[in-house]
Amino acid sequence: MSERWPGEEAEALELEEEAPEEVSEPDEEELEEPEEGELEDEEPIPQLRKPGEHAEGELDIPDDVNLIEGEPDGTRRGVAIVAARFNGEITNRLLDSALDELDRLGVRQEAITVMPVPGAFELPLAAMALAKTRRFACVVALGCVVRGETPHFEYIASEAASGLQLAALETGVPVAFGVLTLENAEQAEARIDKGAEAVRTALEMADAFAQLRASAVQASR
């Protein structure tokens, strides 16, 4: 029996208690990869759309319901375009896109009124004034707001969007949102068709409203 100095026995006991337990290595069978076909019963992980992508597809409306659906018809009343001069290089191209689309859809040039305003913040007031004249079947608002280093972008973009919606709600005249909200000016290149898209939206809504009014008149007779 070996002799220990005072205190050595207690230290030895502490070391034995602190010694980690041996970890048994897994058997080779446990490390084997699952055979082909074993994971077939598992449900596939759904693939989410990338940010910015749109869900394609059309509305599936039953044939036995009443349907009021507008078309981008340019043969009806006049169309008003309110365009912001700020970021004019981009807004000019939006305006060209809108005018080309109006021509393609058969809207006569004398039926088109263009009203320039200083910037996107002034678009709602001008759209409201144009809609209240009742001379136009719809209003198309065009402009461009580019993000800068201050919160100015958020304020202008938000007020333009809510103001244009308010103009449509208060007057009942369709007001289409053709305002680009960009991180930088280079992003405008892929979005110039927004002018034509806004025209189609405005005319489609105007046609739908015309059908709605006509059906209401027939129902009252």
Q: 127 with 141: CB under 8 angstroms?
A: yes
DSSP 69: -
Say how far apart CA 81 and CA 116 lie, in whole Å: 8
Say how far apart CA 179 and CA 145 lie, in whole Å: 7
Say how far apart CA 156 and CA 21 lie, in whole Å: 66
- Burial of residue 81, with CB atoms counted within 10 A of its CB: 0-12 exposed, 13-18 middle, 19 or more buried: buried
Q: In terms of Cα–Cα distance, which of 216, 175, 207, 209 is closest to 76? A: 207
Partners of 114 in beta bridges: 81
Say how far apart CA 136 and CA 124 lie, in whole Å: 16
Clarify whether 152 is annotated catalytic: yes
**Amino acid identity of 182?**
L
Catalytic residue among 77, 135, 152, 213: 152
Residues labelled as active-site residues:
152
